[in-house]
Amino acid sequence: MTTESKLNSPEMEEFYNDLAGMNMDALWHHNFPSQTAAEKSAPYQPCRWLWKDIEPMIWRAGDLVQPGPESHRRVIQLKNPGLAPMPGATHTLVLALQLVYPGEVAPSHRHTPTAIRFMLKGKTVTMVDGEPITMNPGDLVLTPNWTWHGHTNETNEPAIWIDNLDVPIVGALKAGIHEDFPEGLDPSTKMPDESFRRFGSGHLRPIKSKKAELISPLHSYPWEQTHQALHELASVEADAFDDVALEYTNPTTGGHVLPTLACQIQMIRPGVHTKAHKHSSSAVFHVYKGSGHVIVDGVKIAWKEGDFFSLPPWCNHEFVNDSNSEELVLYSSTDQPVFEALGLWHELAYEKNGGHQEVVATYEERYG
Ligand code: GTQ
Ligand code: FE2
């Protein structure tokens, strides 16, 4: 028995109108999302920021504003124009640079967004819930959600570091809460670098410590250890998409450092050109050492030491070290833990042409 479809009938129109009048709707009234993983494409553009453009702005900020009453933090955000007016470098990740001059204090506060710091220049102490943590270049420091934190610089040199935050994720959940500490830095209640003293070996855990903590109880990851681990790994294996890559881990689980953010350090060895893939997570990258380029959906994005780059979700991307003698070291932070926790993580290798994309434009040609 066949019946005539009423989909485009006047009765259906009337039905839709009546539903709308009662704050209801019919599922079939709208297109059902029907993209396969292969069809998924980037929802907004990638973006690159050059250190030669960023650095003068940091010094200008240094002349214009002081941390404390004038501004919580002296921070310059790297904003992806594809997301305007949102503040993120990707739809989930805020990427910023912070400057603290000798003698300055960025007073303590706590908030539900989480931050990861990657130190670039100079030396500071960041207080994390009463634990004074020294940050030297290449060190990674966690200020987990709701921990009191503030920064001081007791040296003679300005200090600059990268801030990665999950502000857009917390914002989407309407979970933003912020509290200022009454005055200055919260007092030191722990040994300097205490969390490192407990957990810093990575593979030896104090016997009475809790297993499987949601948030890493280790708050600092010194560069010396990171650098050595990269070279040890390079002597035995490399990944097709990321070459020699290590994730910073929560020592109680071996998993991501934080529930919303993960971070990694990777070395693209001299002359290496990785294969391309795409995935549901987005990421922000910093060239810590060396130079090279990344190919994102056929666009060649050249970068040198100090430059930054944001990778939207679902872009095919592959890394190239242009040098045959110098290593290319990339620091990155991603929202991957959120996707994994929700069972939403998908990854797809680029199959054509041996896994390498054809370059169709440079970043300058495509994005000006
Ligand atoms: O250092 O506490 O880039 O609260 C943005 C918000 C840094 C910080 C940022 C912050 C901080
Ligand atoms: Fe903060």
Written in H, E and C, the secondary structure of 61-98 is HHHHCCECCCECCCEEECCCHHHCCCCCCCCCCEEEEE
CA pair distance 285, 334, nearest whole angstrom = 9
pLDDT tens digits, 272-326: 999 999 999 999 999 999 999 999 999 999 999 999 999 999 999 999 999 999 9
Q: Tell me which residue has its CA closest to atom 11 in ligand 1.
A: 73
How many residues would you count in the chain?
368
Residue with the two structure tokens 């129109």: 13
Contact of 254 with 277, CB cutoff 8 Å:
no
Ligand 1 pocket, residue 73 CB under 6 Å: yes
324 alpha carbon – ligand 2 mean position (Å): 40
Ligand 1 pocket, residue 163 CB under 6 Å: yes
Ligand 1 pocket, residue 75 CB under 6 Å: yes
CA pair distance 347, 210, nearest whole angstrom = 32
Ligand 1 pocket, residue 297 CB under 6 Å: no
150 alpha carbon – ligand 1 mean position (Å): 9
Ligand 1 atom closest to the Cα of residue 77 is 3
What architecture is the 47-200+217-367 domain classified under in CATH?
Sandwich (2.60)
What's the first-to-final CA gap in the chain, in angstroms? 60
199 alpha carbon – ligand 1 mean position (Å): 25
* Residue 180, φ and ψ in degrees, nearest 5: -90, 145
Ligand 1 pocket, residue 165 CB under 6 Å: yes
Hey, where are the domains in the chain?
47-200+217-367
CA pair distance 353, 359, nearest whole angstrom = 12
The count of other CB atoms within 10 Å of the CB of residue 177 is: 11
Pairing between β-strand 131-135 and β-strand 308-311 as defined by DSSP bridges: unpaired
Ligand 1 atom closest to the Cα of residue 149 is 2
Of 54, 98, 162, 186, the residue with max ligand 1 atoms within 8 A of its CB, to mutate for a pocket test, comes to: 98
Of 54, 58, 72, the residue with max ligand 1 atoms within 8 A of its CB, to mutate for a pocket test, comes to: 72
Q: What is the pLDDT of residue 1?
A: 56
Query: Considering only CA atoms, which of 117, 75, 55, 120 is closest in space to residue 288?
Result: 120
Ligand 1 pocket, residue 128 CB under 6 Å: no
58 alpha carbon – ligand 1 mean position (Å): 15
Q: Tell me which residue has its CA closest to atom 10 in ligand 1.
A: 73
**Cα Dmax for the chain:** 87
Residue 156 in tokens: 């003679």
The count of other CB atoms within 10 Å of the CB of residue 170 is: 19
What parts of the chain have a pLDDT lower than 50? none
CA pair distance 48, 41, nearest whole angstrom = 19
CA pair distance 336, 352, nearest whole angstrom = 25
CA pair distance 56, 99, nearest whole angstrom = 12
Ligand 1 pocket, residue 149 CB under 6 Å: yes
Contact of 328 with 271, CB cutoff 8 Å:
no
Ligand 1 pocket, residue 98 CB under 6 Å: yes
Ligand 1 pocket, residue 105 CB under 6 Å: no
Q: What is the pLDDT of residue 69?
A: 85
Q: What is the pLDDT of residue 2?
A: 66
pTM above 0.75, yes or no: yes
Which helix (H) or strand (E) element contains residue 51? helix 51-64
Q: Look at the alpha carbons of 42, 140, 269, 292 in this order and tell me if their dihedral is positive or negative.
A: positive
